[in-house]
Structure 1
């Protein structure tokens, strides 16, 4: 984690601190000679063809995640066209990125069904928990896959910091978060960070003297808690079949819960008081990525088992506005997103169940269930199965007055 006071000190030692957009651009243009091998016979800049994925033995959790990831055409195009440089060293020696590129190349050739076996084999080299035929969590798979791709495609840091002219008077907080982002990109620049990475601002406030300690943490996805259920069952506006015995909430309520101030159970040593004090903590969004991945925490854990929470979460398919959950100094920056994919967990049990994906392209919404896929209605996205939501950021523009739910 990156302390704000350390970042501020580092920024002030620089005569001409860089602004955030220029820093990102400079850090992501570092050259590297090696590239993904085996040239592709077909290029794909637009959406990938509709292709089923072979189930390798309870691998629906992986197939559903991959189908959503295939919806990130701006991210996948570099694999299909073999444009991404391979890192000199990585835990998988570049095999995860090459297997992913091979899989996308097969899909780009419009094959009806392809097998992700090579990708799974490469991934289990660094994540052995996915070996065998057991059922696993799709969000855990996504994090391991993105981490593996990021390591395989990590760009080397620039030979020296790039000094750029200052464009305007910048607040100290923004200077600190620019330095935090520059530090993260310097050490972790890759196509994964280009598309999925953002910064969280964590604020811990002393209840005694009100001193605030601020840190910045990078994220590739956000895990959102469900709000506590009310004392009585709240009926959902969805169908009676879905709402039976369930409570409901909105995605915005989950975001409010994620960013709500909480009282810390353990005392924290205050930087001003110099001794442990009761404190409270809050999270806000400092920067946000091109592709926003939101994970709804549907599972609760006991000592013996995992239980599923069937709360019905309604979410906008268009015009999700994150500005109410941003840090105060960042609320004027456009942060509007549109849904393009979901990963759903079907079944009432936390120990079993089945994963499917929904993905939107020019032809509309489509459901992907391992080897099969078929058109679907937007209304079917809402309910108690939605587990991972995939949003794409709009470039500029103000949020609509009323976000569209379906």
Structure 2
């Protein structure tokens, strides 16, 4: 195992404000308070000590630049990025600013999406009819061909939208291999990136969004990055699904763009897969946000409304500034209730979330995903120094806090909190969490009128190893044929659904059963 430099500890905190309202960590109240507009973003994660999204907080990790890839990295905030993907955790995280010592690893390929190394010979072949039936729904028309990475792809566009033509490729010559069963070359400690990219590539609606070139109609040219990240992500997705070769491709062009958007990914140090997912979704959303001119922030009082109506108003207010295909798929709404134990006054806050960070229950027996969800949503009593100020009592009172999912997203991302901070280093929980592949019923965690609360699993990002050394892989269910495959950088191989559950599961991707193809 490679030597490790243990970084010094630095405490940091969130500087972003709530998109709607929040409990002030310094002077908490139970009344509904609408915050002013922050400079970085109108709708940013909550600053509540009780609702703590952590994309902008640093979490210390040890880095290993050599292969096999080691460790997991600490999340950083990039000062130029205005909005963060909201993720909710029950506990506030103190972060670290890591210092990295060691070689830089391998250099990336100069050519993006080029064929580089052979896949596993065990990869399953699927009939041409299966693929063509799947792709027929995309309504693609051919408009010529171009060369890329040693194989031919065709210039295609959606019928009736000839103005938006990008390289696409479905033909009789390559349709057998165009199953999304293409590996990604490791560019030097980039297994974290490859794992998440394969999970997103097998996200059916997001894949179709790229293959149909619909993203081009949504490109926000007012965005700082000029939509370069979305373009490279779409090209990479198209190449994965349309490659005529059975060899891995290099995602170097995509890596270049994600590095420009989030400089923390510059270099070849190992990073955390969940943090990479947050930055990537945030960048993609910014570039295809349908809102080009955001409205001014107005002070509004919704206290007189019922919780359901208040939640709807808050959601519509969020969409006035943040509206994209990425939001359509990945964003849900979380309700936080705080009840005064003295007078019974209840204050509710509604916040958008992009994923949920679930604590792993500590027990001697088997731990299920439902146990983790119940631990996340269980009632907590705030007493002592944590007592907030009751809006009705006008004094600090003992209160009860509870989370409820107000609006379920189409794609539910669940992060298992396997890594925790100790006094001297990060530790990892290798607890086996039993999660269902089908019919994850979350209605007990939703509001009274919640719908679409049943989910099917379609992808898992795995972390094998310890906090001192590890490697990321992905298990994905192919959206065309419904069978599971292992994605280990360049290697792709079939697997049994019985192998999907393991103690390495780190990020779970569920899709709503109403749109699932299982």
TM range (shorter): 0.7 to 0.9
Shift of 1:100: 0.3
SS at 1:382 equivalent: coil
Unaligned runs of at least 5 residues, structure 2: 1-17, 22-30, 35-160, 172-177, 296-304
**How far apart are the structure 2 equivalents of 1:222 and 1:151?**
21
Q: In the alignment, does 2:235 pair up with 1:102?
A: yes
Query: Contact 1:305 / 1:351 at 8 angstroms: preserved in 2?
Result: no
SS at 1:49 equivalent: coil
Q: In the alignment, does 2:258 pair up with 1:123?
A: yes
Q: In the alignment, does 2:222 pair up with 1:89?
A: yes
Unaligned runs of at least 5 residues, structure 1: 8-33, 161-170, 235-247, 398-403
TM-score between the two structures when normalised by the length of structure 1 = 0.78
**How far apart are the structure 2 equivalents of 1:36 and 1:219?**
35
Q: In the alignment, does 2:470 pair up with 1:339?
A: no
Query: Contact 2:294 / 2:320 at 8 angstroms: preserved in 1?
Result: no
Which of 219, 222, 226 does residue 353 from structure 2 map onto? 219
Task: Find the counterpart in structure 2 of residue 255 from structure 1.
Answer: 373
Shift of 1:42: 2.7
Which of 62, 67, 82 does residue 198 from structure 2 map onto? 67
Residue deviations 1:206-246 (CA, integer Å, cap 9, x gap)? 2222211100010111111111x23xx33xxxxxxxxxxxx
**How far apart are the structure 2 equivalents of 1:135 and 1:286?**
35
Which of 39, 43, 49 does residue 166 from structure 2 map onto? 39
Shift of 1:396: 8.4
**How far apart are the structure 2 equivalents of 1:197 and 1:36?**
30
Counterparts of 1:1-400 in structure 2, within 5 Å, are: 1=18, 2-3=20-21, 39-42=166-169, 48-84=179-215, 85-110=218-243, 111=245, 112-156=247-291, 172-227=306-361, 229-230=362-363, 233-234=364-365, 248-264=366-382, 266-327=386-447, 329-331=448-450, 333-347=451-465, 349-361=466-478, 362=481, 364-395=483-514
CA pair 43-278 structure 1, distance change in 2 beyond 3 A: farther
Q: Which aligned segments of 4 or more residues in structure 1 are displaced greater than 6 angstroms?
A: 34-37, 157-160
**How far apart are the structure 2 equivalents of 1:396 and 1:386?**
24
SS at 1:123 equivalent: helix
RMSD value, Cα: 2.6
Shift of 1:158: 9.0
Shift of 1:173: 1.7
How many residues were matched structurally? 341
**How far apart are the structure 1 equivalents of 2:294 and 2:224?**
23
Query: Contact 1:35 / 1:86 at 8 angstroms: preserved in 2?
Result: no
Shift of 1:159: 10
CA pair 6-303 structure 1, distance change in 2 beyond 3 A: closer
SS at 2:194 equivalent: helix
